[in-house]
Amino acid sequence: SAVISQKPSRDICQRGTSLTIQCQVDSQVTMMFWYRQQPGQSLTLIATANQGSEATYESGFVIDKFPISRPNLTFSTLTVSNMSPEDSSIYLCSVSGGDSSGANVLTFGAGSRLTVL
Amino acid sequence: AQTVTQSQPEMSVQEAETVTLSCTYDTSESNYYLFWYKQPPSRQMILVIRQEAYKQQNATENRFSVNFQKAAKSFSLKISDSQLGDTAMYFCAFDQISGAGSYQLTFGKGTKLSVIP
């Protein structure tokens, strides 16, 4: 399975600032996803990062708040803009890879823990 | 839309004993995948086991096995011979096989499992 490097692993940010999270994959992948995991909660899909086109956002998430770039098949960034304490979460990058059964298995990065003061 | 419910927020088990984590889901799809993911304190999400809905045979991976009841929409995870390294959050997840929602997993809220020496 793919190996994902995500950085920063954690950061403490001031209210009103923006932070960009990077996700690097060791192989070319078609689909990359960004998830948010709020404290003590499950994972919620933010958007699907598409190479060569705009990201596809899930309900409740907008491009102005979470702009995403996908310049090539191994790299993506997620920016959390104009942060507030409610944005304090773990943000996870993941990629999809089919296995021998064809299952849509996700591989995750280690996550970026953001704390907004 | 699919929903995944994990009714046990926390569980504990003695080392070497067996524990079962519950998961139910709701969907109108007939073909789909179900997964159990593990998130240790280190935060890296790891796939534990997967099940194809069209297969009647329950999936097994070493000490991990599932009890898949399609009619009841139930997908429980059994961990045998529990080890300290099994301490983690366990997430049940659903993925439809085709259509606009495929590759976009729906996760349950998780069960925090503690293995006690």
- Grade residue B56 by pLDDT with cuts at 50, 70 and 90: confident
For residues A11-29, average pLDDT: 95
Of B94, B92, B96, nearest to B110 by C-alpha is B92
Interchain CB contacts (distance < 8 Å): A and B: 55
The secondary structure of residue B73, as a DSSP letter, is T
Burial class (CB in 10 A: 0-12, 13-18, 19+), A33: buried
Report yes or no: A2 at the B interface, CB cutoff 8 Å: no
Of B45, B52, B95, the CB nearest to A108: B45
Residues A26 and B97 sit within 8 Å (Cβ to Cβ): no
> Is the CB of residue B43 less than 8 Å away from at least one CB of chain A?
yes
> Which is higher by pLDDT, B97 or B18?
B18
Query: Does the CB of B33 have a partner CB in chain A at under 8 Å?
Result: yes
Confirm or reject contact between A90 and chain B (CB < 8 A).
yes
Predicted pLDDT of residue A100: 57
Angstroms from A16 CA to nearest CA on chain B: 27
- Is the Cβ of B36 closer than 8 Å to some Cβ of chain A? no
User: Which residue in chain B is spatially nearest to A39 when comparing CA positions?
Assistant: B109
Query: Is A30 or B85 the better-scoring residue by pLDDT?
Result: B85
Which tens digit of pLDDT belongs to each residue from B25-51?
Answer: 999 888 889 999 999 987 788 999 999
From chain A, pick out residues whose CB is under 8 angstroms from the CB of B110: 42
- Does A103 sit within 8 Å of B103, measured CB to CB? no
Q: What angle do CA A82, A86, A91 make, to 5 degrees?
A: 80
> pLDDT at position B55, please?
86
Q: Which residues of B58-90 are buried (b: 16+ CB within 10 A; e: fewer)?
A: ebeeeebbbebeeeebebbbbbeebeeebbbbb
pLDDT at res. A12: 96
Residue written as tokens 């507030």?
A: A84
Write the residue in B95, B103, B109 that is nearest to A31 by C-beta.
Answer: B103
Tell whether the model's pLDDT for residue A60 goes beyond 80.
Answer: yes
Q: Using one digit for the tens of pLDDT, what is the confidence trace for A27-45?
A: 998 889 999 999 888 899 9
- Asked whether the predicted pLDDT for residue B16 surpasses 90, the reply is yes
